[in-house]
Amino acid sequence: MALAMVLSCLAFVSRTLPLLLVLSAANILVLVWLRRGPRTLKRELRTFCWQTLIILSLYLLRFRSMDGLWAGFKVSWQLFLAMLPVMAVSKTVSQAAAVRTLSRILPGQMAFVLSTCIKFVPLLLAEIKNIYEGQVLRGARILPRDLVRPWHWPDLLHCVIVPSIVQGMALAGNIALAAKARGFGRSPRRTCWPGM
């Protein structure tokens, strides 16, 4: 992660062609080291192309010359190199490792809350799916073909979004109760179970 941050920061200060080429080579080496195949690079390159198109058209409007286009391409290249290493690293880190790292950086309660929420999100998504299917069976106009018409959007809000928020609140209450029952927050010092 630290290496990715350094490479990302270096992208902002690399303003010349040789530096950008060296940094690009370093990024490719990191991708190979992280065992990210050409598919990852292809996906990120698609974002790069989209971003370059916008920046180049703005530079062309401003300068109306090839020099302007080159400057625009260089900026787009820099922005791409600033984002690529962090994207690659964050996709290779497992969830467990991410949570372990989180608990080192964030305060105890926040790390617990975040890791718990990530863990329970699939359950909440399943609940939301059940709510959605139930409302469709009741005749709510929330199928994808209905949502093409904007006047059906309030149905989605009232039939799915509000009940899902209520469900989320209820789940949060249950988790909090279970955590309290296991002594979470009883001691000001951070503890974990089983004892280490």
Residues of this chain that bind other proteins (CB under 8 A): 4-5, 8, 11-12, 15, 47, 50, 54-55, 58-59, 61-63, 71-72, 75, 78-79, 82-83, 85-87, 90-91, 93, 95, 98-99, 101-102, 105-106, 109-110, 113-114, 116-118, 120-121, 124, 157-158, 161-162, 165-166, 168-169, 171-173, 175-177, 179-181, 184-186
Of 30 and 106, the one with the shorter C-beta distance to other proteins is 106
Q: What's the min distance (Å) between Cβ of 120 and other proteins?
A: 8
Of 28 and 58, the one with the shorter C-beta distance to other proteins is 58
Of 41 and 113, the one with the shorter C-beta distance to other proteins is 113
Q: What's the min distance (Å) between Cβ of 139 and other proteins?
A: 20
Joined tokens for residue 73: 């391409």
Joined tokens for residue 28: 């490719």
Q: What's the min distance (Å) between Cβ of 89 and other proteins?
A: 8
Which 3 state secondary structure label does DSSP give 93?
A: coil
Are 111 and 99 in contact by the 8 Å Cβ rule? The answer is: yes
Q: What's the min distance (Å) between Cβ of 22 and other proteins?
A: 17
Of 25 and 170, the one with the shorter C-beta distance to other proteins is 170
Any residues with CB less than 8 A from the CB of 174 and at least 6 apart, and which? none
Are 120 and 168 in contact by the 8 Å Cβ rule? The answer is: no
The span from the CA of 39 to the CA of 123, in Å, is 30
Q: HSE on the CB side for 153, CA within 13 Å? A: 4
Listed in sequence order, the DSSP H helices in the chain are 2-13, 17-33, 38-63, 66-92, 95-105, 108-137, 153-156, 162-181
Of 29 and 97, the one with the shorter C-beta distance to other proteins is 97
